[in-house]
Amino acid sequence: MEQKTKVKGNIHYVGVNDRVKHRFEAMWPLPYGVSYNSYLIDDEIVALVDTVDICYFEVYLRKIKQVIGDKPINYLIINHMEPDHSGSIRLIKQHYPDIVIVGNKQTFGMIEGFYGVTGERYVVKDGDFLSLGHHKLRFYLTPMVHWPETMMTFDETEGVLFSGDAFGCFGALDGGFLDTRINLDKYWGEMVRYYSNIVGKYGSPVQKALQKLGGLPISAICSTHGPVWTENIAKVVGIYDRLSRYDADEGVVIVYGSMYGNTEQMAETIAAELSAQGIRNIVMHNVTKSHPSYIIADIFRYKGLIVGAPTYSNQVFPEVDSLLSKILLREVKGRYLGIFGSFTWAGAAVKRMAEFAEKSKFEVVGDPVEMKQAMNDITYTHCENLARAMADRLKKDR
């Protein structure tokens, strides 16, 4: 059993899989499920790193006891207080009443607020140290990655970084938990979607955390979601580094709403001309069908964004309007923006999307295209002109 759970040294994986939940944070689809990762360090002094969602406590407790039997747990280290990781704190405390909770100043207010748990605690500051015997732990505060109390724990003995939500991804773990023992294909796209939807707003704090951790000799990353990274550390850190700098590939995301197909024909015309101009990465999303989490992930992937919507009750088509607010919330930087829209008797969508353009601080390319009722020769020309303007702007970066 020990070999199935061992990460490195005396570190064991005791996380669980959730293949039932439909939406993470009640918002983001989970087609492959999600894992809640927790780790047990079975040293002279025993430490548990983070817990799991309370729904899985019985499975979780059994996994812990399979590693340590009836031994007590001395420390519970809490890197992140989001309830999918902290949900079992109260029950762990009931089973191990003498356990000392380790966290920073921000952590303990949340523990009392969420769970009413008090008792002996070990409050750590940035760079503080804890020895478990063989394993020597160092704590690094990483606020706003992506909550104010977030921190990371580095095992200096084995080079293992317990990173909280950082470097995590959606997707339950099928069989093994080590990246060397599972097929990773589905996790790379889910990592981008996880980052862009959950962490996306906090690029600057992520960059500060990467700089703080940059000199550490990391041999494994133990995140709270997704695989334990060993052979793929450089790739994983590279993905987070690039996304947190809002760097992106050449390409265009065309996002549109269309009630009767006329606005969609504008989108199709723009896409066809982009392709003719040599832009290969073109992703089209009808907001009525594509979930926002996938659209946002693609906006993090590609430099160009072209948004189209019909006027609806003198406003932007509601599903497009909702998406625009989600983009603003993430404070994405460095994108090129084009706008198009349609109306039947009074145009408003294009004008209101121009307000989004101003708030987003994206670089507007080409002239906005506004169509009355249905496509005609002039509309085709204007859509093609917008596509050419976007293609020309992207090519300047080559």
Q: What pTM value is reported for the model? A: 0.94
C-alpha dihedral, 77 to 80 to 81 to 86, nearest 10°:
-60
Cα 40 to Cα 7: distance, rounded to the nearest angstrom: 10
Paired tokens of 353: 């999307």
Paired residues of 316 in beta bridges: 311
Residue 2: predicted pLDDT: 59
Confidence of residue 178 (pLDDT cuts 50, 70, 90): very high
CA distances from 175 to 16, 35, 237 (A): 11, 12, 24
Cα 186 to Cα 100: distance, rounded to the nearest angstrom: 38
pLDDT tens-digit series, residues 47-65: 999 999 999 999 999 999 9
Q: What is the mean pLDDT of the chain?
A: 96
Which DSSP state fits 69?
A: T
Q: What is the mean predicted confidence (pLDDT) over 219-223?
A: 98
Instruction: Name which of 185, 318, 340 is nearest 252 in CA terms.
Output: 340
Residue 105: predicted pLDDT: 95
Largest pairwise CA distance in the chain: 78
The three-class DSSP label of residue 157 is coil
pLDDT tens-digit series, residues 62-89: 999 999 999 999 999 999 999 999 999 9
pLDDT tens-digit series, residues 251-306: 999 999 999 999 999 999 999 999 999 999 999 999 999 999 999 999 999 999 99
15, 57 contact by CB (below 8 A)? no
- Number of Cβ atoms within 10 Å of the Cβ of 239: 17
Residue 118: predicted pLDDT: 87
pLDDT tens-digit series, residues 307-362: 999 999 999 999 999 999 999 999 999 999 999 999 999 999 999 999 999 999 99
Cα 210 to Cα 213: distance, rounded to the nearest angstrom: 5
Give the rounded distance of the alpha carbon of 175 from its chain centre: 23
Percentage of residues of the chain with pLDDT beyond 70: 99
Confidence of residue 3 (pLDDT cuts 50, 70, 90): confident
pLDDT at 1 over 90: no
Confidence of residue 378 (pLDDT cuts 50, 70, 90): very high
